[in-house]
Amino acid sequence: MQALTGPEARAGVLLAHLSDPHLPLAGRVPLRAVLNKRALGLLSWRLRRHRRHRPAILAALVADLQAHAPDLIAVTGDLTNLGLVAEYRAARDWLDRLGDARRVVTIPGNHDALVAGAWPRGAGLWQPYWQGDAGPQAGDVEAAFPTLRRRGPVALIGVSSAVASAPGLAVGEVGAAQIARLGAVLRRARAEGLFRLVMIHHPPLAGTVSRRKGLRDHAAFCAMLDREGVEMVLHGHSHRSHHRTLDTRDGAAPVIGVPSASSMHHEPAACNLCRIAPVEAGWEVTVTPRRLTAEGRVEAGRRAAITIARGHAA
């Protein structure tokens, strides 16, 4: 992805963040595909989730998002429900409609890795949307993360917390090897004077969700962010809005989550528009929620302006 330069860079980057679209199941589900944890997922979809996650809700939110012409669109996982290959194909069609892969980036969520092997089998279908600036990754897709895209003053870093888990659990895990690689990416981006924005599906801070839905290695993950520094973390998974803070060696970093982009169940469907602009000795981040009303309109929520002072800012 080509970086912004000159006046464009000084004006900053407008990033749209949405998550957990849970696109409808694509066609009939073969019996052999649900002789595992997917059986519970399919039952949940048939009984209630298909009424909560509605294409019309997602379409209204995306239409509003596109009207703001963001430079980048970040989708933090759970595009599918059962992690079926047919769902991955349907999600690829949705990603293609959402925008060019040069400005749309996604990461997997726990539903995308509902059973062992689901994410490795489906990852290739989304590869243009999750790979970093280095281009196609060969071999083990798990080792491809974290990914890095540079855009103006922003280093957009994708982390995978998608792992298969036992029935009744929706946990995530980054893993020691990925945490170590992420530390190196953060160090390099710091040396380049970039705004380091980390995308992860599961909330990294303890207490955001219940333990059965949490990030198993959150302590090690946050310790690494503290040690290396980060400017912002975006996540999904909870289907609720969150705005918390993580202390790091370089200063406080906002940790922000959004509700599901296709459901009005826990909270109204929403996405966040984040304007990231360089200022003296740091960055100014303006976060504006865009929420769907019961009448089907999308309205702006309360805007938050956050100054992130950093000594390494270019």
Residue 247 sits in a domain whose CATH number is: 3.60.21.10
What confidence tens digit (pLDDT) does each residue in 230-255 have? Answer: 999 999 999 999 999 999 999 999 99
Residue 216 lies in a domain: yes
Q: How far apart are CA 38 and CA 47, in angstroms?
A: 14
What residue numbers bound the domain in which 278 lies? Answer: 18-130+141-309
Residue 50 lies in a domain: yes
- Count structural domains, the chain: 1
Q: With beta carbons less than 8 A apart as the criterion, state whether 75 and 105 touch.
A: yes
Residue 135 lies in a domain: no
Quote the pLDDT of residue 8.
46
Residue 2 lies in a domain: no
Q: With beta carbons less than 8 A apart as the criterion, state whether 235 and 272 touch.
A: no
Residue 90 lies in a domain: yes
Residue 11 lies in a domain: no
**Three-state DSSP class for 9?**
helix
Neighbours of 99 (CB within 10 A): 18
Half-sphere exposure of 274 (CA within 13 A, CB side): 28
Residue 3 lies in a domain: no
What confidence tens digit (pLDDT) does each residue in 118-148 have? Answer: 999 999 999 999 999 987 765 678 889 999 9
Confidence of residue 3 (pLDDT cuts 50, 70, 90): very low
**Rounded to whole angstroms, what are the CA distances from 244 to 75, 90, 203?**
19, 34, 10
Predicted TM-score (pTM) of this structure: 0.95
**Rounded to whole angstroms, what are the CA distances from 174 to 163, 167, 220?**
9, 20, 9
Residue 5 lies in a domain: no
Residue 3, H or E segment = none
Task: Please classify residue 18 by burial: count the beta carbons closer than 10 Å to its beta carbon, then call 0-12 exposed, 13-18 middle and 19+ buried.
Answer: buried
Residue 32 has pLDDT above 60, yes or no: yes
Q: How far is it between the farthest Cα atoms of the chain?
A: 59
Tokens of 116: 């062992």
Confidence of residue 103 (pLDDT cuts 50, 70, 90): very high
